[in-house]
Amino acid sequence: MSARSFKTSLRVTWADTDAAQVVHFSNYFRFFEKAEEEFYGALGFSFKDFRSQGLWFPRVEAFCQYKKPAVFNDVLDVEVTVEELRDKSVRLGFTVSNKETGDLLASGYLVIVAVDRQKGRATRMPAEVFEKLKSYAKQVL
């Protein structure tokens, strides 16, 4: 039973905000993906490596629930968990909290599929990637 997670943080920039003076809801998905990229970096691989192997990692589902707003200059903690790991796909969970107050601001997930670019269809992810994600996985299906 694994409870490992990856944590990173970021500071809200002016360009992240909208006229409600809070972070635009679409930007949480960019925060999710940025955290995902850093998670992969920490595991020792990147989208770039996948591409050189003829792999894409497109998102097939994206979801976010918004609890409290973030404003300019807030430092946000983003936590990544591997909610469900399958041979050809992974569901990553994300929470975004205010670093100072600890308040949960948003939570959500991305479902990502390994795709063979040539064939244009889902394929097993590389064994090395699968094994590394597995060490974080709550569920392997």
Q: Is the Cβ of residue 2 or residue 26 nearer to its own copies in the bound state?
A: 26
Is residue 2 near its own copies by the rule CB under 8 A? no
Nearer to its own copies, 2 or 13 (CB): 13
> Strand locations in 1-141, DSSP E?
6-11, 55-56, 59-66, 75-85, 89-98, 104-113, 115-116, 121-122
Quick check: helix, strand or coil at residue 108?
Answer: strand
Taking CB under 8 A as the criterion, the residue among 44, 54, 61, 121 binding its own copies is 61
By CB under 8 A, residue 116 contacts its own copies: no
User: Least distance to its own copies from the beta carbon of 15, Å?
Assistant: 5
What x-and-dash track marks residues 19-58 binding its own copies by CB under 8 A? xxxx-xxxx-xx--xx--xx--x----xxx-------x-x
Q: Is 18 annotated in the active site?
A: yes
Interatomic CA distance for residues 123 and 90, integer angstroms: 12
Contact 93, 64 (CB under 8 A): no
Sign for the CA dihedral angle at 32, 33, 34, 40 comes to: positive
Residue 119 touches its own copies, criterion: CB under 8 A: no
